[in-house]
Amino acid sequence: MNRTLKFIVFVVALAAVAETIWLWGFCRFYVGPNEMAVITAKNGDPLEPGQILARDGQRGIRETPLGEGRHFLNPFFYQWDIVPVTLVQPGKVAVVTSKVGATLAEGEFLAARGEKGIWRGVLGPGKYRLNPHGYQVEIVDAISIPIGYAGVITSLSGEQAPSGDFAGPKQQGVRREVLQPGLYYVNPKEYKVDVLEIGINQVSLLGRSGGKVVTKARQLGSNEALNVLQSAVLEKQEAKRQDYFSKRSVVSQEQQHQGGRQVDFAPGRAPASPTPAPLAEGEMNLTELVSFPSRDGFQISLDMTVEFELSPKTISDIFRRYGDLPAVVDKIIMPQITSISRNKGSEYRAKDFIVGEGREKFQNDITAALEQTLGTKGIKVYNALIRHVEVPDEIRAPIQQASIAVEQDLTNKERQNTARKEAELNTELSLIKQRGEQVQQETEKLKAEIAADLGKQVARIQGETLKKAAEIKKLTAAIAADKVRVLGEAEARALQKVDGERAAGLGLKAAAFGDPQAYAQYRFAETLNPEMKLNVIHASSGTLWTDLAKSGGLAELGGAKTLKGGQ
């Protein structure tokens, strides 16, 4: 029995060791950080028609990968492949295309989770385990709207919105709401975002050389990652604008070569430069110019700058109607500038564009007309500035000469007026100098009179002061003498009274005693030391010294022992 039990224990231990060796030596595998294991089942039911990923109990690639860590699978039944996980960095989004799931409805191309197709939402920054056999992942930049810009949203899925209306939920088209400056995780397959400048922009028309649109420059922030994203967004927008200009240039060239011959440019449009000058950030070339006939038949060309503003409240409506900023300038602003300039300019003579007052009035008229016309389209105009006017030489030279002659005449008149004023000024200066000398003499005279009067008053005050001092001295001496006399008399009377009273007192004392000798003894007694003691010693049969000791005849006076007693 003991041998059987030992054998069983040995077999169990051997089986445990073998299983441990099998599991840890052949079935164990490790999935490292930022990795996942795609599992393929070698046994099970076959996949259904069109099925890509296998479920539990089916043979094929399993849908759910295994995450990081240690795992144990039988290599005879399973195969594993270690692949990287999907990492979405900050500032990026992942657009997922699912190869598995339910079939989309007809007409739809964006799928919800669990459907086959491009997912509507995106995956933000993070780590995701998506089976590469069932999901295709595209990493793209997030949308970062810079300061001074707004993002106009165009929905790419859903039913087409009615013409002239904004797109609502589940509708395709431009939406009313815009994206303010910030970072957004947007699916580019679901929404198209166009970044447009808001605030004040400029359209500059430079005579025969064409013109350009000047927009605000990008404002860089302190976050370098956001600056990179914003640059990418603006570069994409710039590429769209260049594409617009390229198509527009092709259309213009086709219009110029109708029937194999060169067609003249229409008034108000300049030929495109074959080698345009390099543009700064926020600039776009234009081929338009402002040119029109004056009222007296002369062709006028202007250099003009129009300042306009696009508001965030109206930017989506403007984009829905006309498109991006170049299209807005090309379709709305430039036609209005050229049309209004031509209409208003035909009311002025060529001379009015040379003379300052006429040009200023023309500028104010154009500004007011542009404000009214473009204001109804959601574009606010601030100024239409006329910088240079090109007038034909045959009219400009006579007008300039006439203006120069008028100015020369005015200059001569002003010179005459200046000379007359200078003569009057010299006369006034002479009078001022003469009057100044007179005032100086009168001042010196007044100073002398004041000084003499002041000396006289000082002498008089000094005399009166000396007189007063003498009188005070005299009174002081009289008072001092009277004081000495009064004090002497008082002292004499006091002495007389004190000595008289003292003598009277002594007389009264002497009279009280009735005997001068008795009074003399009284006075003698008064002068004795009050601490002195008197002892009366009576003689006995003993000696003098023994009697003194018995009777205390020794007395202390002033700290010294003396003999007191009668003789």
pLDDT in tens, 120-141: 889 999 999 999 999 999 999 8
418 and 309 together in one domain: no
The verdict on residue 386 lying in a domain is yes
The verdict on residue 315 lying in a domain is yes
Return the closest-CA partner of residue 325 out of 236, 194, 454.
194
Of 338, 362, 391, the position where a domain reaches its end is 391
**Whole-number pLDDT of residue 259:** 43
pTM across the whole model: 0.58
474 and 538 together in one domain: no
Question: How many angstroms separate the CA atoms of 542 and 548, rounded?
Answer: 10
User: Domain limits at 503?
Assistant: 409-528
319 and 338 together in one domain: yes
534 and 558 together in one domain: yes
Average pLDDT over residues 162-191: 90
417 and 515 together in one domain: yes
The verdict on residue 537 lying in a domain is yes
542 and 464 together in one domain: no
432 and 333 together in one domain: no
Least confident span in 80-89, 338-347, 393-402: 393-402
Q: Among residues of the chain, what percentage have pLDDT more than 70?
A: 80
380 and 445 together in one domain: no
The verdict on residue 365 lying in a domain is yes
Contact criterion met (CB below 8 Å) for 87 and 129: no
416 and 353 together in one domain: no
pLDDT (tens digit per residue) in 240-288: 777 776 776 655 555 544 443 333 333 333 444 444 444 555 555 565 6
The verdict on residue 212 lying in a domain is yes
DSSP string computed for 336-373: HHHHHHHHHHTTS-GGGGTSHHHHHHHHHHHHHHHHHH
**Whole-number pLDDT of residue 265:** 30
351 and 451 together in one domain: no
Q: Which contacts qualify for 116-124: CB closer than 8 Å, 24 or more apart? A: 118/187, 118/189, 118/190, 119/95, 119/187, 120/157, 120/187, 120/190, 121/187, 122/93, 122/94, 122/95, 122/96, 122/185, 122/186, 122/187, 123/86, 123/88, 123/93, 123/94, 123/96, 124/88, 124/93, 124/185
**Whole-number pLDDT of residue 97:** 92
Question: How many angstroms separate the CA atoms of 60 and 323, rounded?
Answer: 51
**Which residues lie below 8 Å from residue 345, measured CB to CB, with a gap of 6+?**
292, 293, 294, 300, 353, 362
63 and 73 together in one domain: yes
Write phi, then psi, for 170 (nearest 5 degrees): 60, 30
236 and 361 together in one domain: yes
Tokens representing 27?
A: 């079935």
Residue 175: which H helix or E strand, with range?
strand 171-179
Higher pLDDT, 388 or 375: 375
